[in-house]
Amino acid sequence: QREESYHFLVFTDLFGNRTHGVVVQYYRASGQEGAVQNGHRWNSKSRLYAPFAVCIISKFPYYNALRDCLSCLLVHLRPARHADFEEIIKEFSAKLSLVPLPPPGQLHVVRNLRPLQVVLPSREDQDRPVIDIDLHLPFLCFTHTTLLQVLSCLLQEQRLVFFSADWARLTLVAESLLLYLQPLSWQQPYVPVLSGGMLDFIMAPTAFLMGCHISHFEEVAAETEELVLVNVDDGIIQSCSETIDLPAIPVAAAESFIPRAECLQLHYDLELCHLGAATDANALRSQRRDWQARLNTQIQNIALELVVNIFRDVQDFLNHEHRVFNSEEFLRTREPADQSFYKKVLDTHIFHSFLRDRLNRKWDTFSRMEQNTRDHIRRKRAMTESPRRPLANELAKAGYRSYTSPNDRLSKRLGVSLPNLEQPANDTMVNVISNRMTSLRKITPDIGQCWSIKVFRLPDFPPPLSYHYVQNYYSDMVASLGKAISATPPEESALLARYHYLRGLVNTVSNRRLDALEDFQSLYKTDSDIFPLQMVKSLVGSLPDAERLQADRRPELKRLISRMKRDQERERARHDNGREEGAVKRFQLPKKYMQLEEFVKCIQETGIVKDQGTIQRLFDALTVGHQKQVGPELFGVFYTIWKETEAEAQEVCLPGSVLERIEPSECVFKLSSSIKTSRGVGKIAMTQRRLFLLTDGRPGYVEVAQYRDIEEVKVSSAPFLLLRIPSLKLRVRGRKEPFEANLKTETELWNLMVKEMWAGRTMADQHKDPQYMQQALTNALLMDAVVGSLQSIKAIYAASKLAHFDRIKLEVPMMVPKTTAETLKHKINPSLELAAPQAVDVLLYTPGMHKHAHTFSQLWVSVGGGKVMVFDASSWSLTNTCHVGNARLNCMLGVDKDQVWMGSEDSVIYIISMVAMVCNRQLTEHRAEVTGLALDTDKYRYMTNNT
């Protein structure tokens, strides 16, 4: 006889769907006393024990809950006769099949199996898996450095084999490690427990994660040299060959992870120090469960922060419109020590799936934490189209580097910094990699909702599991859920939705279809995130004619059935449109001449600029004097100059005395060569707010002008011996003497750029819209790149094609309503992510009302084409975008916890009144204008208070 043991299995089908198993193995007396075996008779005092194994298989990883179920089963199996063994198993499995799984959210389900109460925890939301496991086990097995090495191998999709003398430990540790990678998901073969007869699986040529008993270690290590071996028992990771390169986790992310991990309290015994002895087993288990849930949340936070710190900047290199990821530019901005890690990770399936979710704007835990951990300045920058440049507070304070003119830099630019081109082996990207200072904030944001967990206790199972008793059991469950719904206050809408979900589920399996549909309709009105769409579709499709007629007589059910039909039509329409939401492209430079249409698409894919009007002006500039098409060589030179200018700006290091004189949010976008000016010798620096002079010798700061104070910009001439050299002259408000700078061959270029910045500042002040300034800055930098690309006598004339605001500033200004000009302090651009501006259909401001539910003030904007954008009112940055159909006003808007369906009605007032009923807030009338696009008429301009 031996003590019973438990272990866990994971099965994966051909489609990647996983099934989870929990196994108990125990020994049972055979009852064959005095039996004869191999010619020997056992004496009466000897007993034979036979091993039995019972396995529960589930679609969900309820490891702890199912282990508890098997423990309760053993209580009934041990004293049972051998003849009753199979009947007890059948009855036990039938009882388990009567248990409904809880929906995502705050409601757990508890069943009494005697002697234990077994808890089925719910998922935190629809996109996350069930976590019913002790997530701290890997921290007990590995040091923090080794744990990061294992996670690095997983992210690089290496061929990993785990070893342990304990079968259960293999699956629990492997499952925990994969949960650490959330929301990234392991895409490769996964078999955490390999039997002795399955060891040949490790010869598979693909990446995998498998587990073996420690007794097979030498055998496995001798089979192949391309494996990464992880000894779970000893906490050691090693490779079979010295040729396997195992790049480490990026340094900055690892340095943020280790101190956080060291603060974890991993030992439950320390939690018990101040507690008395528990006299009830279920109470003791409940204490342990609560402690484990808190620890799991902390570990999830730390692991998610690690993933966010590793992939934080990926979003900046994505082009959502064309579904392009600029991998070359992303790699170029990584630290040199981290590049080998990223080169391997970027080619994995796990990263490709992650990119697909980013391009689909999936609002998951990564997106939320990445958004919440951005500082205020980065949030404001995220909502503009300004090129990537370092902020003043990110610049090092150890002097500044030289900045050469485009003429001097052209020769080295040709053929350099071009992505996806073969480079010589010894060709290095000198002076391209930026020494950026990554800001990794040590924060502890909650990845889940801060709500209190509620428990729904199932009625006791009926003794005989006949049809009549099972139906009575379902009726008791429906009655219990009805009481829970009646006792729940209306403001706890999330909890009400979970109760309606469970009751609809029970009504469905007991063939009460209409009652189930009513529950799902109530669920839909309170929380559509957990709405079981496929289940409701099947339920509607299975309605007999008599019940269908009854449903048509009930307005609520008729509305629900109509909604299901509309959803099916939309799905068919999306399928017919053939939108490739799974495609991810890598940016490549063009290989043929491009007309305007191809040029617009290519520029948008680069991420340099999205606006079609600006791109068309750039096309006109690059095609001055020849046929209206851009060749691949010219485009390659222009792209290289743009990217090198961006990299050089990141290398500019300002002294501390200069950083004190400018705003923390300012960036140096262009720095001239050392020149002579009327205020000394130095370099002129251009930011988005001002021009200033960095004096030579001992670096110092001399204010030249803020753009709004400029009165005149022109090209003058300065005497030099017998010659007159062109110079840039600026007249500034409040100063008697003009500022003059001998910029030599760059004079005309600086004249164009400063005029454009001046015009952009003027229009931004007139319209109270800083995005005019951002657009002017983009125009100025495009001028610089065009001049550097063309290198001809027509270069300045070509660059003048981009002087958009300087050309239109003398036109009749747009009339802004007085109310808007006085009250509207922040403006957003709902067409920022679009190639061309679109009119606004609905503008809705939703104030945050539930502090503990993490609902913040948001601005919802519905534009043409069924597109809805959500802006964070605290920073006015875009947080989410979704496509919800093509009809006008055909969108879903969420107000706090409540969802409001906005149909295709024409009356905006009716729809906003419907929102007001749900909010229970008084809406007040305001005039609202969004980037120059006003709503149709005065009576349609509706926003709430605190606009």
Which alpha helices (DSSP H) does 132-216 contain, by range?
A: 137-141, 144-155, 167-180
**What is the rounded average pLDDT of the residues 185-192?**
90
Q: How confident is the model at residue 833 (pLDDT cuts 50, 70, 90)?
A: low
Decide if 517 contacts 539 (C-beta within 8 A). Answer: yes
76-80, 512-516, 521-525, 881-885 — which is least confidently predicted?
A: 881-885
CATH topology of domain 650-809: PH-domain like (2.30.29)
Cα 1 from Cα 414, distance rounded (Å)? 79
Question: pLDDT averaged over the chain?
Answer: 77
CA separation for the pair 326, 346 (Å, rounded): 11
- What are the tens digits of pLDDT across the range 234-280? 999 988 766 677 788 999 999 999 999 999 988 888 877 877 776 77
Q: What does the alpha-carbon distance between residue 418 and residue 316 come to, in Å, rounded to a whole number?
A: 19
Do residues 850 and 856 make contact, with C-beta atoms less than 8 angstroms apart?
no
* 824 pLDDT above the threshold of 50: yes
Give CA–CA dist 854/503, Å, rounded: 27
pLDDT, greater one: 43 or 793: 793
* Model pLDDT, residue 239: 83
Whether residue 205 has pLDDT greater than 60: yes
Spatial distance between the Cα atoms of 853 and 848, rounded to a whole number of angstroms = 9
Of the listed ranges 153-157, 199-203, 411-415, the one predicted with least confidence: 411-415
Q: Is the pLDDT of residue 934 over 70?
A: no
φ, ψ of residue 550 in degrees (nearest 5): -65, -40
Of the listed ranges 306-320, 545-559, 570-584, 622-636, the least confidently predicted one is 570-584
Residues 6+ apart with CB under 8 A from 339: 331
Q: What's the confidence (pLDDT) of residue 941?
A: 34
* The amino acid at 715: V
pLDDT at 682 exceeding the cut of 80: yes
For residue 630, CA distances in Å to 300, 321, 322, 801 come to 50, 22, 20, 16
Of these ranges, 194-203, 302-311, 714-723, the one predicted with the greatest mean pLDDT is: 302-311
Q: If we measure between CA atoms, which residue out of 831, 868, 383 comes closest to residue 614?
A: 831
**3-state SS string for 275-314:** CCCCCCHHHHHHHHHHHHHHHHHHHHHHHHHHHHHHHHHH
Contact 152, 249 (CB under 8 A): yes
Q: Do 389 and 669 touch, CB atoms closer than 8 A?
A: yes
- Amino acid making up residue 835: A
- Tokens for 13, please give them: 């089908």
Contact assessment for residue 120 and residue 65, using Cβ atoms and an 8 Å cutoff: yes
- Across the range 396-410, mean pLDDT stands at 46
Three-class SS state of 860: strand
- In this prediction, residue 907 has a pLDDT band, given cuts at 50, 70 and 90, of very low
Q: What average pLDDT does the segment 361-367 reach?
A: 86
State the number of CA atoms in the 13 A half-sphere of 783 facing the CB: 29
Q: CATH topology for 136-274+281-306?
A: Rossmann fold (3.40.50)
Structure tokens given for 561 = 């059935």
Amino acid at 773: M
- Contact present, 336 and 252 (Cβ < 8 Å): no
* Token pair listed for 408: 């001097």
Q: Which has more confidence, 421 or 321?
A: 321
What is the distance between the alpha carbons of residues 221 and 237, in angstroms, rounded to a whole number?
A: 13
Q: Which CATH code fits 832-923?
A: 2.40.10.480
Dig out the tokens for 123 from the structure. 């998922």
Confidence of residue 494 (pLDDT cuts 50, 70, 90): confident
% of the chain beyond a pLDDT of 90: 24
- What pLDDT, on a 0 to 100 scale, did the predictor assign at position 937? 34
State the Cα–Cα distance between residues 247 and 337, nearest whole angstrom: 9
Is the omega angle on the peptide bond into residue 183 within 30 degrees of 0, that is, cis? yes
Q: What is the pTM of this model?
A: 0.72
